[in-house]
Amino acid sequence: MQQVRSFEQDNAALVGWGIRVMLVTTDGPDGLAARRLAGLGGQVECQNELFTGLSQLIDDPYGYGLLVIDCDAFGGVDNVRRACTKLGEEASRVPVILFSRTCPSQLFPPDRHTPILLRAPLSAVSLRVGFEYALRDRLAVRAA
């Protein structure tokens, strides 16, 4: 079942309301991940090249609230993790969600600097849980 939100609905109920999300994928802005992130309230910006997306994040680390990367499009999880380690210290404060078809299980690490790993194709439920987990500090402040 697909739910469509209208502009009249309470935007505060959206998990990612107002969060600027850098999505790195070859599927573009019409892909499943982009649509699902936007459905959670994220302001999604897509890049179809890994290092261009990471460069944008490094240039504006405080402008983005979340980095989401399709690992299958860029050589797999290990390759993308190596690329993410090149993020500067300021940019590493941005939560990261990686997703891949080769992921045997989903991973929600307690360390905030370790990327969250989700299985692809992204289900609405797994992405919402990953989104909430990645933004747990921000959501706790908003709830207080």
Residue 93 lies in a domain: yes
Nearest of 89, 129, 136 to residue 110 by alpha carbon: 136
- Domain of residue 120, residue span: 16-143
The predicted pLDDT at position 5 comes to 47
The predicted pLDDT at position 3 comes to 41
Q: Which residues pair with 100 in a beta bridge?
A: 119
Residue 78 lies in a domain: yes
Residue 4 lies in a domain: no
Residue 6 lies in a domain: no
Q: What does the H/E/C string look like for the chain? A: CCCCCCCCCCHHHCCCCCCEEEEECCCCCCCHHHHHHHHCCCEEEEECCHHHHHHHHHHCCCCCCEEEEEHHHHCCHHHHHHHHCCCCCCHHHCCEEEEECCCCCCECCCCCCCCEEEECCCCHHHHHHHHHHHCHHHHHHHHC
Chain center to CA of 50: 14
Residue 42 CA to residue 47 CA, distance in Å, equals 15
Q: What is the largest CA-CA distance in the chain?
A: 42
Residue 7 lies in a domain: no
Nearest of 94, 97, 108, 117 to residue 40 by alpha carbon: 97
When divided into structural domains, the chain yields a total of 1
Residue 82 lies in a domain: yes
The predicted pLDDT at position 1 comes to 37
Residue 63 lies in a domain: yes
The predicted pLDDT at position 84 comes to 86
**Residue 13: other Cβ atoms inside 10 A:** 9
Point out the residues of the chain with pLDDT beneath 70. 1-17, 90-91, 138-144
CATH of the domain at 31: 3.40.50.2300
Residue 58 lies in a domain: yes
pTM: 0.84
